[in-house]
């Protein structure tokens, strides 16, 4: 029974894990993580958890009322992973204000699978959480986790090597932003969810959207084919393929292999690893 917090570069994903299920899920802009009105303090206050120390500022409700079932769950503490080191002390300060114990998923904790990556401390904590989540959903099976966020990461888990490593490439939003920032006339295209009726763009914005969405699926397919070809060369059984992250829908249905979309894979991995480390 705890609050799971996945701190990403752009957004922080938060949910209460209770009795094997998630509830009260929310995305918080990471720059606002400790904002009293829009960040984690407001989220915890909405769960009817009262600050036990001085509030971060006067807008945090000093006495939010009786605890709800979600509030009781949250009192189990906070489990978190972070790819933004500067955000960690901000989260710890919020937890201290609300009197909640904190547990951080790092390469040094039990994930359910070993780590054979040469420099484990370099691995993003979100990637480790994804590995723990993949193991929880497909124990003992090889897995490829494709997390499509600000950056796109491939993480490879095998029965013989555990977490072995992966691939990193820019996410679709980074591609469109880079085009805008590094060219004189290309606009910033942010509506990547807009329908694409044709792969022949009739405007500059439409052409950029096609490249970022349709073209991106081709990039992911090529990388996935290369990983699976290496699996075959090594004689490994077929891998479970997981898609996660905000841009997962961009490639779902455009890949040749069957995949499982698990939007909350990192949160699931956080909860599963927390159990392993608190038995």
- List residues with catalytic annotation: 126
SS3 readout for 147-193: EECCEEEEEEEECCCEEEEEEEEECHHHHHHHHHHHCCCCCCCCCCC
Edge-to-edge strand order for the sheet containing 240-244?
A: 162-170, 151-158, 143-148, 240-244, 260-261
Residue 119 corresponds to which tokens in the numbers above?
């420099």
Backbone angles phi, psi at 249, to 5 degrees: -65, -20
Q: Which residue has the tokens 């570069």?
A: 9
205: left (phi over 0), alpha (psi -120 to 50) or beta: alpha
Contact 29, 104 (CB under 8 A): no
Q: Report the C-alpha gap between 187 and 207 in whole angstroms.
A: 11
Q: What contacts 16, CB < 8 A, 6 or more positions away?
A: 2, 3, 4, 22, 23, 24, 47, 70, 73, 74
Residues 6+ apart with CB under 8 A from 81: 5, 6, 7, 104, 105, 125, 126, 128, 129, 266, 270
């Amino acid at each position: 029974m705890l609050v799971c917090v996945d701190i990403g570069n752009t957004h922080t994903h938060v949910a209460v894990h209770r009795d094997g299920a998630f509830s009260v899920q929310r995305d918080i802009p990471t720059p606002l993580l400790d904002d009293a009105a829009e960040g984690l303090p407001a989220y915890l206050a909405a769960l009817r958890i009262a600050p036990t120390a001085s509030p971060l500022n006067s807008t945090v409700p000093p006495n939010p009322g009786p605890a709800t079932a979600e509030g009781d769950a949250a009192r189990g503490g906070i489990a978190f992973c972070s790819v933004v080191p500067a955000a960690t002390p901000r989260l710890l300060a919020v937890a201290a204000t609300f009197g909640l114990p904190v547990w951080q998923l790092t390469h040094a904790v039990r994930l359910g699978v070993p780590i054979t990556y040469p420099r484990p401390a370099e691995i993003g904590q979100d990637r480790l959480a994804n590995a723990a989540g993949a193991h929880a959903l497909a124990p003992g099976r090889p897995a490829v986790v494709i997390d499509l966020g600000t950056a796109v990461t491939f993480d490879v888990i095998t029965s013989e090597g555990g977490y072995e490593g992966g691939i990193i490439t820019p996410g679709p939003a980074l591609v469109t932003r880079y085009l805008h920032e590094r060219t004189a006339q290309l606009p910033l295209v942010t509506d990547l969810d807009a329908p694409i009726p044709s792969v022949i763009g009739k405007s500059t914005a439409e052409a950029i959207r096609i490249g970022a969405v349709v073209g991106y699926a081709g990039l992911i397919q090529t990388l996935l084919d290369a990983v699976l070809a290496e699996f075959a060369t090594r004689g490994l059984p077929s891998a479970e393929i997981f898609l996660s992250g905000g841009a997962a829908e961009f490639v779902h249905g455009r890949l040749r292999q069957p995949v499982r979309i698990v939007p909350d894979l990192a949160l699931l991995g956080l909860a599963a690893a927390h159990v392993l480390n608190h038995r």
